[in-house]
Each structure stands twice: as C-alpha cells, then as structure tokens.
Amino acid sequence: MGEKDVIVVVREFDHEKDRLGVEDVEKRCEVGPSGKVSLFTDLLGDPICRVRHSPSFLMLVAEMDDEKQIVGMIRGCIKTVTCGKKLSRSGKNPHQTTTKPVPVYTKVAYILGLRVSPSHRRTGIGLQLVRKMEEWFKENGAEYSYIATDSDNLASVKLFTDKCGYSKFRTPSILVNPVFAHRVGVSHRVTIIKLTPSDAECLYRRRFSTIEFFPRDIDSVLNNKLSLGTFLAVPRGFTWTGSDRFLSDPPESWAVISVWNSKDVFTLEVRGASRMKRTLAKTTRIVDRALPWLRLPSIPELFRPFGLHFLYGLGGEGPNAVKMVKALCGFAHNLAKERGCGVVATEVSSREPLRLGVPHWRMLSCDEDLWCIKRLGEDYSDGSVGDWTKSPPGLSIFVDPREF
C-alpha cells in the first residue's frame, strides 16, 4: 500500500446493507461534468444484475474504514469459453478418419462495473478492488482475466495496462440502432424461422463453437428467461426439418441471430443534452409517428429511461448472408418496437464480414470497445493454443449477452 492510499475495507457486497450506498456511487459516477451529455444506467434495484446470469460471479465493495461509507465497487464473473481450436480426428475406422476443428476451452474471468466515487479517486481504491477480485479469480482456477472499456477512458485503460499487467487484446465494435416509431420492412425473399433452444444449441455448437469467447454453457444462455429466441433466415420456400438435416444440407445462404432482453436488466438514459437537441428529437419522433410512410428515421426518445435488446450469436454462410443478416436485424427491430425498447444493440468483431448487414447509427455506436486481457498465472499448461494473450484475432468474436 502506498502513502496516499486511504484505508478502505474491500469485502463482498451485501444486498440489504449496501444497495443504497452502491446506487449512490453509481449515480455520482455516471453523471458527467456539467454541460456534457452523459449516459446514466439504472440497474433497476439490483446491483448484481450484470453478472448474476453467469455461472459464477462476485461483487465487491470498498467501504471507508471509519465512516462505513461505500466508495467503490467491482463485479466479476468466471466462465469457460473457447480460446482457440485444434484439429481432431473423428470416425471409428482408422482408414476413414476425417479431421475437423474442435474448440479448445479455457476458464476466463471478466471484470465489469468497476466504479470509484469521484471524491475518492486517485487514492488507490480502484487498484485494491481489482487486486482483490483477481485473488478470487485465481482461487477459482481462472486462467485469464479480461475487461472491456471505452478506448478513450484513460483512467481505466491506464489502471489496467500500466498498473495491473493487462494488454490490449481485441477491439470489437458496439453497433447501436434506434428503434423507430414505424416498423421496418423485411425482405420478402427471406423466411425467418424461430428455432427451439435445443435446435439453436445444436446449430451454435456445430457451427460456432470454435469462435473466440464462445461460452461452453451456451445452453444456459439460450434457455435463460432473458433470451427471447434464436431466429434463422433462409431463402423463401425453404422448409425447416430439424437441425441435423439443416446442417447436413443447408441452403446456399442463411444467417442466424439470437435476441436478449436487456430491458428487464437495466435501463439507460441520456442526461445533459441541450433543450434544442431534445426538442429536435421530439419533433422528428412526432412526425415519424404521424406520417410513418415517410420512413423518416426519427431520433429515439433517449432522454427518458429506455431499454434495449441485445443481438448475439450472429452468424451465417453463403453469398447472400449479409442480406439475410439485414432481414434478421429488421425483424429484431420490429420485435424491439413491439416490446417498447429505445435501441437495439449488438457487438461484433472489427473484422466481422457480416457487420455490413447490421444497420446502426454511428453517433450511437462505439467503434472501438477495447478489450484488455491478462494471464493470471504462469503455472498453467500452454495447451494446444499456447498463450492466448499473444494470439491473433479471428474474423468473429462471440459476445456473451449475460455481461453486456
């Protein structure tokens, strides 16, 4: 501990005792400097909501030793995900074996929701929270730890890279599209089929399990009550006869996407926008509602709390896959509109070829969500992928909706 470090106790969050204190810190952290627009998150009374659906999770708080005031918190979770692939032989007859890529899994930990009260910053509290969380990660066998942060969040980037030994790893993009007051058209040349969770699981495991960060417990994601379904786009006229048949004889082009209901987990609100901007937004929305056939992109109502749907598990194949993705996003937009969401968001690899089919507004999106990673111990075996932190990125990345 350095000289400037204040005396805080870092301990596990206690819902009864700490909820109000945590909410207070959360509120003070989100409201940006006066005059600037900032995004406020309402965790709807459940500070653990952003990790509670993960297989194992922990939330810690930092409390001032003397006044018993909460001044910071951190959330973390641990799960098993794909970190690479290897070739495996299959087939019983040694003369007829084929090789196919299979996933290599690792136990990873993820840090999110780190907050320190503005009045107590730069006194070492953030660092203490990270270190304590990493202890729990190691005790539970996690091999890597990673975080995602806005690339221009200097405080957070420096904390993790300069002080905690993390290195810059991946830079996926968060693509956000507003939900308009009108429905959007979906191509008539595409049929959209809702898959059962078990068909979806089969498709994801057989086609996507070698993608980085694919969660080994994909079944618990798909069966979670927040998952609103997996939707498959195929050429019109194609009939679905089960995942086995589909996978052995797929149409020339197809695409798939799953929808997660983040609206029931947290809401967002833009605060601090000028009255002019608000009025403009309101006017376009009224016009859009009154004259929907104009198909005006109305600025969504972001100045009141709004919810979102998160699209995950985006994939597809064939020459028309991008068009199929576009149709799925149109469908997902209309679902979000029916369910009263303000925006639809997704997160994709910067090299994802299918991102061309995802409609989004640049001003609402984040081009570079910076993921930093660290290897937690040196005594792990290198396995067949070696040190993951040094591996080049793939074309796609699987972003788990549970921790978005």
Interface of this chain with ligand COA, residues 98 to 117, rule: CB under 6 A = 114-116
Neighbours of 377 (CB within 10 A): 11
Spell out, one character per residue from 25 to 64, where the chain touches ligand COA: x when CB under 6 A holds, - when not.
Answer: ----x-----------------------------------
Q: Tell me whether residue 8 or residue 200 sits nearer to ligand COA (CB atom).
A: 8
Stretch of residues binding ligand COA (CB under 6 A), selected from 44-52, 120-128, 250-258, 314-322: 120-128
**Is residue 215 within the footprint of ligand COA (CB under 6 A)?**
no
Stretch of residues binding ligand COA (CB under 6 A), selected from 11-19, 121-129, 174-182, 389-397: 121-129
Q: What is the sign of the dihedral through the CA atoms of 159, 163, 168 and 170?
A: negative
Alpha-carbon 354 to chain mean position: 17
- 22, 61, 73, 125: which one contacts ligand COA (CB under 6 A)? 125
User: Which residue carries 């350095």 as its tokens?
Assistant: 2
Burial class (CB in 10 A: 0-12, 13-18, 19+), 204: buried
Stretch of residues binding ligand COA (CB under 6 A), selected from 35-43, 150-158, 216-224, 357-365: 150-158
Nearest to 190 by CA among 256, 260, 243, 259: 256
Measure the CA–CA gap between 141 and 380, rounded to whole angstroms.
10
Measure the CA–CA gap between 385 and 176, rounded to whole angstroms.
33
Q: Tell me whether residue 105 or residue 166 sits nearer to ligand COA (CB atom).
A: 166
Q: What are the phi and psi torsion angles at 9 (to 5°)?
A: -105, 130
**Is residue 124 within the footprint of ligand COA (CB under 6 A)?**
yes
Could you tell me whether strands 173-178 and 343-348 are parallel, antiparallel, or unpaired per DSSP bridges?
antiparallel
**Is residue 267 within the footprint of ligand COA (CB under 6 A)?**
no
**Is residue 70 within the footprint of ligand COA (CB under 6 A)?**
no
Q: Does residue 252 contact residue 318 with C-beta atoms inside 8 Å?
A: yes
**Is residue 156 within the footprint of ligand COA (CB under 6 A)?**
yes
CA distances from 252 to 72, 123, 230, 249, 397 (A): 52, 58, 20, 9, 23
**Is residue 153 within the footprint of ligand COA (CB under 6 A)?**
yes
**Is residue 126 within the footprint of ligand COA (CB under 6 A)?**
yes
Measure the CA–CA gap between 224 and 219, rounded to whole angstroms.
8
Interface of this chain with ligand COA, residues 353 to 382, rule: CB under 6 A = none
Q: How far is the CB of 2 from ligand COA (least distance, A)?
A: 7
- 158, 194, 206, 245: which one contacts ligand COA (CB under 6 A)? 158
- 68, 163, 189, 390: which one contacts ligand COA (CB under 6 A)? 163
Q: Tell me whether residue 156 or residue 298 sits nearer to ligand COA (CB atom).
A: 156
